[in-house]
């Protein structure tokens, strides 16, 4: 939805009801703040009500929860539109597998007009059952575009379960009604990467194996499992971040230019990259676990769950054949950092006799967090009589104003979902291609190597780029 002449975004006139499964969990930290900020930016329908599904919370409880956590987003101002939304939050009680819940939900929806938008922040094992129940009260395939469903990751736990999950959902919904959320696709830096590549003519002619020697993608966290021990111990770093966030960021980096950066066109180009990935064998990966992990709340004693994953990825395509891609993620690392680093091939000849100093490879760094930035590393001459070469960093920093105005990832994605824009959501084909890429690691899983909290991960992971004569970029 475009901005008007004043810079404000026009509000949607059609009424809509958001059916929120997980109204007291994910909504607390992400969805209520996203809705609050969408209200402040004018991206919500003028009439948007929320039916929060909860086993026991009352309407008053959910309104209090929304009022408390909504203002925790990026936009500090509280709008009149947000106040109206909070007053139109209503609880519908019951468990996701309780048939009576859907009778109560159907009655509540009968009193509300407009489109239906359902957000499933529940265990993937419940997707199929909930989808069938929703279809039974008119929110499935027969409703068409008037009913959309957002599902949270993980989308299965391997390729076979992802296919089962897709079949269970497609039994009741068309693919166009399903929006699979990967919040890294909604981050400002991910959008900046697309603009950088496809609007600036200097980059795309160099964007292939002839000019680029390697790519690194990092998603590092300084924190641990943070009270999510039960979930994390059943998932691990490879499944939680490796097969989705890391591979999606890689696909954005390597994809061919689409006809339009929109919907099916963008997803089709990402899918080409994902399907071109050579399945990663155990010899090309290292898993790790930080010391003390098995003492975390909710984690089983003696757990072998990975809290770190690193792998060397090869893409068999004309554009990228022979270009190694190094991916890593982990918890309790030296710093919180997420970035994409593209290393260009060095100059074939140094024509300066007696030159001293830095003459490393040119690199393009797209920083995602903690601060969004773009840096281009080039070589320059230090002022003076001698010929001393130094690294020069050309920076693009959106600055404080842009940082405050840019929507958070969940705000952007939730707004797009409400508007029916699927550009930044993953397709079932992409999800299955991602699982296929890491399938060998799931069936012949490497033993997690120990590492100390606050380090850069297990020492064995240094061998992944080291075998090619390269190193990981410093964290932080």
Catalytic positions are 245
* Phi, then psi, of 376 in degrees rounded to 5: -120, 115
Distance CA 413, CA 247 (A): 19
What one-character-per-residue DSSP string does 157-205 give? SSHHHHHHHHHHHHTTS-GGGEEE--GGGGSHHHHHHHHHHHH-TTTGG
Closest CA to 402 of 181, 192, 183, 186: 192
Closest CA to 182 of 160, 156, 162, 154: 154
Q: Are strands 178-180 and 308-313 parallel, antiparallel or unpaired?
A: unpaired
Expressed in percent and rounded to 5, the helix, strand and coil fractions of the chain are: 40, 20, 40
Distance CA 471, CA 441 (A): 23
- 109 neighbors 116 (Cβ within 8 angstroms): yes
Contacts for 208 with CB less than 8 Å, ≥ 6 apart? 319, 320
């Amino acid at each position: 939805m475009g901005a008007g002449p004043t810079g404000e975004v026009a509000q949607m006139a059609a009424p809509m009801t958001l059916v929120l499964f997980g109204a007291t969990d994910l909504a607390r930290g992400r969805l209520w703040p996203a809705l609050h900020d969408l209200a402040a930016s004018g991206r919500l329908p003028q009439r948007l009500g929320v039916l929060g599904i909860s086993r026991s919370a009352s309407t008053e409880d959910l309104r209090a929860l929304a009022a408390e956590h909504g203002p925790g987003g990026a936009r500090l101002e509280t709008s009149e539109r947000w106040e109206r939304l909070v007053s139109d939050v209503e609880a519908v009680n019951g468990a996701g597998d309780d048939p009576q819940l859907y009778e109560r939900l159907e009655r509540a929806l009968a009193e509300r007009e407009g489109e239906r938008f359902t957000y499933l922040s529940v265990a993937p094992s419940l997707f199929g059952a909930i989808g069938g129940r929703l279809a039974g009260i008119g929110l499935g395939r027969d409703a068409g575009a008037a009913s959309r469903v957002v599902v949270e990751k993980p989308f299965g736990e391997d390729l076979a379960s992802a296919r089962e999950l897709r079949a269970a959902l497609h039994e009741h919904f068309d693919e166009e009604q399903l929006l699979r959320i990967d919040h890294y696709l909604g981050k400002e830096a991910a959008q900046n990467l697309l603009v950088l590549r496809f609007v600036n003519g200097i980059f795309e002619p160099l964007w292939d194996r002839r000019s680029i020697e390697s790519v690194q993608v990092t998603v590092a966290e300084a924190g641990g499992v943070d009270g999510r021990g039960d979930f994390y111990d059943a998932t691990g770093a490879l499944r939680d971040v490796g097969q989705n966030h890391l591979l999606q960021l890689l696909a954005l980096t390597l994809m061919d230019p689409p006809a339009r950066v929109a919907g099916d066109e963008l997803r089709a180009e990402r899918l080409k990259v994902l399907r071109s990935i050579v399945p990663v064998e155990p010899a090309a990966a290292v898993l790790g676990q930080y010391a003390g992990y098995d003492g975390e709340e909710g984690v089983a004693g003696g757990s072998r769950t990975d809290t770190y994953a690193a792998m060397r990825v090869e893409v068999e395509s004309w554009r990228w054949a022979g270009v190694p891609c190094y991916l890593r993620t982990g918890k309790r690392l030296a710093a919180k950092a997420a970035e994409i680093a593209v290393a260009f091939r060095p100059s074939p000849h140094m024509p300066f006799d007696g030159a001293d100093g830095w003459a490393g490879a040119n690199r393009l760094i797209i920083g995602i967090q903690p601060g969004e930035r773009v840096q281009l590393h080039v070589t320059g001459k230090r002022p003076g009589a001698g010929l001393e070469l130094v690294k020069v960093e050309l920076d693009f920093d959106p600055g404080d104003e842009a940082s405050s105005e840019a929507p958070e990832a969940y705000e952007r994605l939730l707004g797009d979902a409400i508007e029916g824009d699927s550009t930044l959501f993953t397709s079932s084909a992409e999800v299955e291609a991602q699982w296929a890429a890491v399938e060998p690691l799931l069936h012949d899983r490497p033993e997690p190597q120990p590492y100390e909290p606050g380090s850069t991960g297990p020492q064995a992971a240094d061998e992944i780029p080291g075998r090619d004569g390269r190193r990981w970029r410093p964290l932080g």
